[in-house]
Amino acid sequence: MKLSSLLTTSLAGLGLLGLVLTATPAPAQKLPKKEKVLKALTLTNDYFMQKWPDPGKDIMTNKLRPSHIWTRSVYYEGLMALYQLDKQKRYYDYAVDWAEKHKWGIRNGITDRDADNQCAGQTYIDLYLIDRKPERIRDIKASIDNMVNSPKVDDWSWIDALQMAMPVYAKLGAEYNDSRYYEKMYQIYNYSKTQHGGKGLFNAEDNLWWRDKDFVPPYKEPNGQDCYWSRGNGWVVAAMVRVLDVMPRSAPHRDEYVQMYMNMIKALPPLQRPDGFWNVSLHDETHFGGKELTGTALFVYGMAWGINRGLLDRKTYQPIIAKAWQGMIKDCLHPDGFLGYVQGTGKEPKDGQPVSYTSRPDFEDYGLGCFLLAGSEVYKLQP
């Protein structure tokens, strides 16, 4: 099925994530066996768990930070995805220990509106669904309820925030069958899409997002193109995936997220490098061009998820995924489980540079989280 036909089919149903395509799936192309994927995920995760035996320990970089900030919360998103594939009790215990060390709380309390700090709530809710102890969901629900009951809708002024917070709203909406969470999520998302930076952070012409107001035109990259940061757009892809994964088909505004997902995924294949990676600047390969794991992993996550849910054509996207996954395994994965080519924290191509096989980002946790999310969906591609 051609992508254009697939897009029409998907958007005609808008919300039929369980749609089974009539096209016969192509056989796996150059994808590793499930066992090899799981082996890579286990290796990288073991490296991290051994390095951080106490999940409640503060993180020291340029200053001391608590370990339930967004970087660590993204890791736990990946850990929970790994746990779904391989239900080792030590993974569950490690996540629970982390949450208990922070008393299932948000960094600045239940009045905290910062999406980065609310990200921990994704794992709190996942753990609550496994063991419905009220303290597991109490604070994150209170934090989001405060926002639902507030008229303010301009909180997500940077696109990373979509991945950090939107899945929390979707999970709460699904758990409580309460459309107020979906409505508020849409209002804040739509403000980011159409209002922040003047006319919104999403460029429908390129189907990509500017990271924040600092990068909307007239800002240009050195080659004269718009600045579309790889990991930032990866966060948006992940946000759509993680929201659609839990929203009921009848939930309001679900069609918007399906369309955004499809439009972004369609824009990515022409931008892939021959080695399988995406550059940190998606439209300017000369601006710190080179291998980079986090954006690449998030795109792999989104594409593999789309095939697994019947939204994307396997024949079109599986070779793209296979090339990217092989690139990450061959060029990023160290024998001890450390991941190279991870851009440090920031918001644009120049941040965290230089990125190399041996470079160490300021935080190692979120890169691993992105890798685990990608691998969890690549694993499912094989029968």
Across-strand partners of 281?
229
Please give the residue that has the higher pLDDT: either 1 or 240. Answer: 240
Domain assignment present for residue 26? The answer is: no
Asked if 118 contacts 165 with a C-beta cutoff of 8 angstroms, the reply is yes
Asked if 339 and 333 count as a contact pair (C-beta separation under 8 A), the reply is: yes
Residue 235 lies in a domain: yes
Cis omega before residue 335 (within 30°)? Answer: no
CATH number at residue 113: 1.50.10.10
Nearest to 303 by CA among 321, 328, 325: 321
Q: Is residue 190 very low, low, confident or very high in pLDDT (cuts 50, 70, 90)?
A: very high
3-state secondary structure of 87: coil
pLDDT category at 6 given cuts 50, 70, 90 is: very low
State the Cα–Cα distance between residues 312 and 301, nearest whole angstrom.
13
- The yes-or-no verdict on residue 4 having pLDDT over 60 is no
pLDDT, tens digit, 9 for 90 and up, residues 25-76: 444 458 999 999 999 999 999 999 999 999 999 999 999 999 999 999 999 9
Residue 355 forms part of a structural domain: yes
3 assigned to some structural domain: no
> In this structure, is residue 22 part of a structural domain?
no
Quote the mean pLDDT of the chain.
93
> 36 CB contacts (<8 Å, ≥6 apart)?
none
pTM for the full predicted model: 0.92
Summarize pLDDT for 269-318 with one digit per residue, the tens.
Answer: 999 999 999 999 999 999 999 999 999 999 999 999 999 999 999 999 99
Q: Does residue 18 lie in a domain region?
A: no
* Per-residue model confidence (pLDDT) at position 299: 99
pLDDT beyond 70 at 23: no
Q: Is residue 117 part of a domain?
A: yes
Task: Please tell me the predicted confidence (pLDDT) of residue 383.
Answer: 84
Percent residues over pLDDT 90 in the chain: 92
Q: How many CA atoms lie within 13 A of 344 on its CB side?
A: 15
Task: Give me the amino acid identity at 300.
Answer: V
Question: What's the confidence (pLDDT) of residue 29?
Answer: 54
Residue 373's Cβ-side half-sphere holds a number of Cα atoms within 13 Å equal to 32
Distance CA 352, CA 346 (A): 7
Residue 64 covered by a domain: yes
pLDDT of residue 361 exceeding 60: yes
Measure the CA–CA gap between 138 and 115, rounded to whole angstroms: 17
**Residue 309 CB coordination number (10 Å):** 18
- Give the number of domains in the chain: 1
Q: Which domain holds residue 192?
A: 34-381
Res. 18 pLDDT band, cuts 50 70 90: very low
